[in-house]
Amino acid sequence: MGASPGFGVWINQNTQQPKKAESKNVTFKSPLTHEERDDTKEQLQLWREAEKNKTWRDTPPKVKVATQEGICIMEIELIVGLPPQVAYDVLTNPDNQPYSRNIKKRGLLENKSRKVVSEDPPGQIVEVEKVVPVLWNLLSFPISLVFAENRKDLSGVYDKKKIMFMKMFEGHWKVEPIYVDSERLCKNMKPRTREEYRRCSGGQGKIASKVTMGGVFQPNSIFNVPPVSWFIRGITVKTTKTLLQDFLNLAAAIRGV
């Protein structure tokens, strides 16, 4: 790839390269242990109880976009008011449930299929097919991606299997815990683990999620010339930002806002 020294780090970080809502009662299945399920359920209850007193406001995602040698680079960071496992399940979408908004009665990103092609706990390789509408839903085109998910450290990478107009489309994501009540409940202590946080907060500290993503994409050579390349990049970046906002909207619904 070569356009940026960060590309290789993105793909190799924490996992392996892949092989070639609106309801307040939204739930997602996840292969958790009994203890992890109890912890996640407890965290969701803390979030929902806290919303009754003071609403958590998710800040807009930080999105940086740059272009080098015809390759578009996106770096994304956001803090979301959900426990890490729930945030990860929403992102990986294990039940293939859409959460993007509808535009003219069609989803911004329609899910067609999701298939686990190999599994080696804590990771798995998943193939997904989606449809993206463009030009105000007058046109749409299918995309096929391969994801390598690591549920142990809540990370993953993706690569394209087949995407119209795209020569390159790949990236990574990771979800990390943020102990948002530590300053209020833990006094002078800065917890480093969930166990420390549980002890110093008396089990009352909420855990939010820091989501970081990195991605690169490049249109096919015949489309990678202005103004067509500008249009493709513009649509891709705009769709990504809209999906991030829909992710935050669903997070609010899960919290019971």
**Residue ranges of the chain with pLDDT lower than 70?**
1-32, 96, 98-108, 134-139
Q: What local confidence, expressed as pLDDT, does residue 131 receive?
A: 84
Calculate the alpha carbon distances from 166 to 69, 137, 161 in Å. Answer: 15, 20, 10
**Structure tokens, 244:** 């991030």
Q: CB neighbours (10 Å) of residue 95?
A: 12
pLDDT at 173: 96
State residue 43's pLDDT score.
Answer: 95
* pLDDT recorded at residue 6: 33
What is the pLDDT, as a whole number, of residue 75? 97
Position 248 scores a pLDDT of 94
Q: Which helix (H) or strand (E) holds 242?
A: helix 228-255
Q: For 56-255, which CATH class?
A: alpha beta
Write down the pLDDT at residue 101: 65
